[in-house]
Chain A
């Protein structure tokens, strides 16, 4: 090389190499961090897993006399069989709005009904709240009435925004409960309805509304004292 000639250095190579080194260092650090985090997670999980598996739970049973236990189980099964409803009973499914007439295991008739709306009404004058649910549990047919009359309770006036009447006679409303009413206690009835297009929907104030033909069947064929299971 002739004296005095200056060979310039390649300017782009040095910065590119430094960037590569920095990236590689960052990536290494990131991977180490991920590895550490996974290791901590694995350690905590192992500790949690061990604690869960070694936690207290019911002791393994010691069956000393299997024959006696088998005999006791048979007795319990007989007891449950005795408890299970026999003969005619009604089952009301408030979610699906269906009433089933059962005779033991046999379904005699399935009926579309309307059950409680679940709505809440508060008395604007304060102090009273009504929740319009069809009650659940076991009840019995306690009364039967033909051409029932509705004696409107306070909530019926409050819901309409009307004043509560002072005279008892102003509460009487004919023809809205259908041809029959079957009482199941606490003011709840299985009764008819003018709104047959709403059967199958939860629109009532707690009673169970039934179409005319099905209601007549129940009135004529289901005796007083018949158990009614509502859920």
Chain B
């Protein structure tokens, strides 16, 4: 017990912030900030919108000209595989969603109107997005209800337990990918699907 006391004191000081971060941490923060700013300066110079998937701050933002159009929090995430570099990326592909077809000459009733329009509430709350550089993102939504939550927990545990086997399969296929799951609030997941289209450029900020 007596041998543990200095370690406990040090731990307590560290928790209180009395022990300063190492110089290496400061340099890493500077470097990460630099990579992020360089990527954003390049994207903000164009008139196109871009996204920022920031695991460090746990936020996803849509921006244009360095202006935040909207931002949503990441409730929970998991990342497996090759750690992606901090920097530019793009949405290569996402799960498809079929558009309503307008039939010529059809009578316009309230019912038909609802069938023929696409709104935010029609967007999926669970889907996959494939980013450049082999990053596969599975978006899930926070669920309500005890059984639904248990099922989602079980699904996330299945995800975690299966990751090493996925790595083995990828190695056999001679590819390295990063797989990610994000849990968002349902309305936020729908908003992301609505606004993040294929070809949209962005910035990826992986966790430290």
Contacts and interface: CB of A to CB of B under 8 A. Distances in A.
Nearest to B48: A137
Nearest to B192: A95
Interface stretch (A3-11, A26-34, A77-85, A174-182): A77-85
A51 B168 contact: yes
A61 B28 contact: yes
B66 A84 contact: yes
Interface residues of A, number: 54
B116 A73 contact: no
B100 A119 contact: yes
A44 interface: yes
Contact of A48 (B44, B118, B165, B197): B165
Specify the main secondary structure of chain A where it touches its partner. mixed
Interface string A158-181: 111110000000000000000000
Interface residues of B, number: 57
Contacts of A137: 47-49, 64
**Most A C-beta atoms less than 10 A away, residue of B113, B117, B120, B197:** B117
B3 interface: no
Interface in B103-118: 104-106, 113, 116-118
B169 to A, nearest CB: 9
Contacts of B57: none
A13 B105 CA distance: 84
Given A84-B65, A118-B118, A137-B48, 8 more contacts: A44-B165, A48-B168, A73-B34, A119-B99, A138-B48, A202-B118, A229-B64, A229-B65
Interface of B: 26-28, 30-31, 33-34, 37-38, 40-41, 44-45, 47-49, 62, 64-67, 69-70, 80-86, 99-102, 104-106, 113, 116-120, 161, 163-168, 171, 176, 190-191, 194-195, 197
Interface of A: 44-49, 51-52, 55-58, 61, 63, 66, 69-70, 72-73, 76-77, 79-81, 83-85, 91, 93-96, 117-122, 124, 131-132, 136-138, 158-162, 201-203, 229, 231
